[in-house]
Chains A and B, each alone.
Chain A
């Protein structure tokens, strides 16, 4: 079964404490991406990766880092989270009609 697995599903953290949200896919997709979803703003792309070791900024990359050391994994790193990064985050594997989204990670930064 095609799957995109994100962890954790829910996270409450404090300002400045580094955190990582993991994303793993089992479809052998080369393309993976991260989005954040905020009320009234829709889904906005944070970073994307065309393949292993190939990543690039999306529309809202400030305050985030990513890495792509293996094809199946694409973690999102917040080095020093701030309250304005409180949001619902989605990892996606594949593009357009082939895009599968994870279940989402609801992050609260206090």
Chain B
């Protein structure tokens, strides 16, 4: 069964304090790994797709990386507006219709 585990569950940082969020996964053949951002009271918004180990994607202060077992979302010099819940999801090659989500990491950036 495909599984996704995110850690930590919650993370509180000071503005400018860099850190990383982890997404560990087990899947029978990875079609893609996705990162989403979710603000309170809203639906998830797409951030990145990663398809193969070694791949990296960047957007502003965020960089996502992928290995064969996990993905990291690195946040460099975060600002309060980066506060949100970050969700990781995988899509398997077989039964490729479905996204399997982790529980999310709730990130708070204090000014």
Q: How many residues of B contact A (CB 8 A)?
A: 21
> Hey, which chain A residues are within 8 Å of B32, CB to CB?
96-97
Contact residues on A (Cβ < 8 Å of other chain), bracket: 20 to 34
Contact present for B97 and A56 (CB under 8 Å)? yes
CB distance from A31 to the nearest CB of B (A): 7
Binding site for A on B (CB under 8 A): 4, 31-32, 34, 41-46, 49, 87, 89, 91, 97-99, 101-104
As a 0/1 sequence over residues 88 to 110 of chain A, the CB contacts with chain B under 8 angstroms (1 = contact) are: 00101001111111111000000
Contact present for A104 and B101 (CB under 8 Å)? no
> Hey, which chain A residues are within 8 Å of B87, CB to CB?
42-43
Residue of B42, B99, B102 ringed by the most chain A CB atoms within 10 A: B99
Contact present for B99 and A102 (CB under 8 Å)? no
Contact present for A42 and B102 (CB under 8 Å)? yes
> Which residues of chain A (23-76) have a CB below 8 Å from chain B?
31, 33, 35, 40-45, 48, 50, 56, 58-59
CB distance from B67 to the nearest CB of A (A): 19
Residue pairs across A and B with Cβ atoms less than 8 A apart, 26 shown, are: A4-B43, A33-B98, A35-B101, A42-B4, A42-B104, A43-B87, A43-B89, A45-B98, A45-B99, A48-B97, A48-B98, A50-B97, A56-B97, A59-B98, A90-B44, A92-B43, A95-B97, A95-B99, A96-B31, A96-B32, A97-B34, A99-B44, A100-B46, A101-B45, A102-B43, A103-B43
Contact present for A103 and B42 (CB under 8 Å)? yes
Top 10 nearest A-B pairs (CB, nearest first) are A101-B43, A43-B101, A42-B103, A97-B49, A42-B101, A101-B44, A90-B43, A45-B98, A102-B43, A96-B32
Q: Complex Cα distance A104/B87, Å?
A: 16
> Hey, which chain B residues are within 8 Å of A59, CB to CB?
98
> Hey, which chain B residues are within 8 Å of A48, CB to CB?
97-98
